């Protein structure tokens, strides 16, 4: 969102940006007052214009993050350094025992990546379907990778009792509401006011009813 607003401000100002204080912030403040309709056009075009950046995020997560998680290259490389490049006699027994402990699945470390990819997929599901395809491949492979890691790599010494899942559920529905509003604004920017109103009402009610039933 910060990148999108920055792009709106720099394009609407018509001048080169020399600093945050000199250009971006004054333009963002003056846009609603001086260009009430132009900001919708800039928002809709800016959302689509930033799609290549979001697609790169999905592809990096798909190729780098998942494959590094599956191969465990970082952990293996660290063990090679300790056992072959550093003398084991110089390492304490407690440290060696710590290296033998299995890894834990830290939800706070991996869930932000899942939710960010989900948010990108929802925002660009209709305007840029290619991102939806990349996100679908990511979640398909992520299911396989993390299921394998949960069975053979990770070890959970305790259970969270499902508290984090409620937080993740609220986060996902917040992303859905945000994507509905963004797509409604895009439709308004494209002069499709009837479609925007019907989409906001119908999809909003369906999402809200599903959210309240859970």
Domain boundaries, the chain: 1-36, 51-68+104-213
> Residue 78 above 80 pLDDT?
no
Q: What is the pLDDT of residue 22?
A: 45
Q: What is the pLDDT of residue 7?
A: 43
pLDDT in tens, 121-162: 888 887 788 888 999 999 999 999 988 888 888 877 766 666
How far apart (Å, rounded) are the C-alpha atoms in residues 17 and 93?
A: 56
**Helix runs in 83-128, H state only:** 93-100, 107-123
Of 3-17, 70-84, 91-105, 145-159, least confident by mean pLDDT is 3-17
> Residue 68 above 50 pLDDT?
yes
Structure token pair of residue 122: 């929802």
Report yes or no: 148 and 103 within 8 Å, Cβ to Cβ.
no
DSSP 89: G
Q: For residue 211, with 0-12 CB atoms within 10 Å meaning exposed, 13-18 middle and 19 or more buried, which class applies? A: middle
Confidence band for 43, pLDDT divided at 50, 70 and 90: low
């Amino acid at each position: 969102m910060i990148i999108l607003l920055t792009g709106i401000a720099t394009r609407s100002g018509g001048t080169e940006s020399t600093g945050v204080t000199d250009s971006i912030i004054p333009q963002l403040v003056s846009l609603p007052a001086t260009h009430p309709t132009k900001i919708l056009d800039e928002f809709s075009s800016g959302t689509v214009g930033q799609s290549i950046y979001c697609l790169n995020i999905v592809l990096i997560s798909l190729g780098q993050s998942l494959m590094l998680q599956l191969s465990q290259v970082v952990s293996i490389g660290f063990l090679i350094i300790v056992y072959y490049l550093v003398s084991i006699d110089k390492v304490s027994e407690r440290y060696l025992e710590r290296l033998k402990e299995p890894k834990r699945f830290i939800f706070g470390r991996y869930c932000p990546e899942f939710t960010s990819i989900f948010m990108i997929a929802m925002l660009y599901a209709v305007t840029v379907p290619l991102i939806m395809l990349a996100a679908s491949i990511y979640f398909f492979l992520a299911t396989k990778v993390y299921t394998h890691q949960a069975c053979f790599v990770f070890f959970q010494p305790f259970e969270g009792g499902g508290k984090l899942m409620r937080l993740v559920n609220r986060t996902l529905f917040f992303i859905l509401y945000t994507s509905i509003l963004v797509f409604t604004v895009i439709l308004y920017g494209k002069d499709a006011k009837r479609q925007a109103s019907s989409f906001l009402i119908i999809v909003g009610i369906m999402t809200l009813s599903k959210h309240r039933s859970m």
